[in-house]
Structure 1
Amino acid sequence: MLTPLDINKKEFHRSFRGYNCEEVDEFLEQILRDYGQVYRENQEMREKNQRLSEELERYAHLEQTLKDALVMAQQAADEMRQNAQREAELKLREAENKAREILNQARAQAEKVERYQRDLEASTRAFKMRLRSLLKAQLELLEDQVEAEAAAAADRQGETLREPGPGEEEITDCELDPCRQEQV
């Protein structure tokens, strides 16, 4: 294949009327063939370069699209993680508040039960004291009544200690003591 230097160094022999036509024609044909080949190769290279440039541009666009998709995926993942964390924190706060509320209700209920128990215990003590007082008063009343009846019976007995006369019955101890009457 001819180089620019070959073309530059090419000398044509002089003939009678100038350059040898055959040599010039052969040289031109050689240049034409070589130039045609170079031109085709150049065209092929340009086409290949164009295809590669377009492919490179497609890959660059694809790379940018992938980068954008990756950034969007990362942002979406970050947003989902943040949302999940916020939701978890919210649920935790809600659970803590609910637990606090339940605990406060339980404490209030326990205090209410304790107050009720103290009131019942106080009422029971008061009832027992009143019952003791009432029973003591009833017992004293009964003792006084028994003593009074015994004294009255003793007074009657003192009058009736004499021997029963004809047609009179004898008074027994049971008749004098009402407690003994109940036992018999």
Structure 2
Amino acid sequence: MFLTDILNDPVCQPIKKSYERWYRVMEETIEFWLPDSEWHTKAHSARVLILALVMGHQKGLSDEEMNALGMAAIFHDSRRLDDGIDKGHGSRAAAYYKDYCREHNLPYEAVTYYITYYHDQDDSLGMSEIAKSPSLSERALLLYQIFKDADALDRFRLGADALDVNMLRTEEAYKFVEFAKYLLLKSSKNLT
């Protein structure tokens, strides 16, 4: 299992079982259209999964909310066509998530769909669309922000200066900047 040693870190202990479950689902059943990607790999999604879950735990999210973050993390980059901006990969991944739930007889969560759909868009659009959806609670905005921060915190894979911390949305994200660097370092060692 990817990053098993990091799961023994005290920060990760509360989310260890959730991480292992979602990672297994991703590894065994989620198809990535860009398997040879340099930047948007299953390893990236695994780091985003850990970051989303630890921040969600810090925020005191419910099991249902944590599951929404977990599903968004494992699907969010599954339908990329290239390693560039690739606007639209979020909507493709959201459609894949919806179809996946139907085909595997799994509960579909609208909040996961929206987080995944808008994660590659400007916050003003994503938050506006989530806020006006009658099927979502106001907590959906918080989940969206946590997820966007988790994805952003893994920008260190693109270079030491790739993350602008001023763009982070949640208080928790600021606390996990150094942890995100550590996570990337540990995962890089796992791949060599």
TM, length-normalised to structure 1? 0.16
Decide which structure has the larger Cα Rg and report it.
1
TM-score normalised by length of structure 2 = 0.15
The structure whose residues are more often helix, as a share, is 1
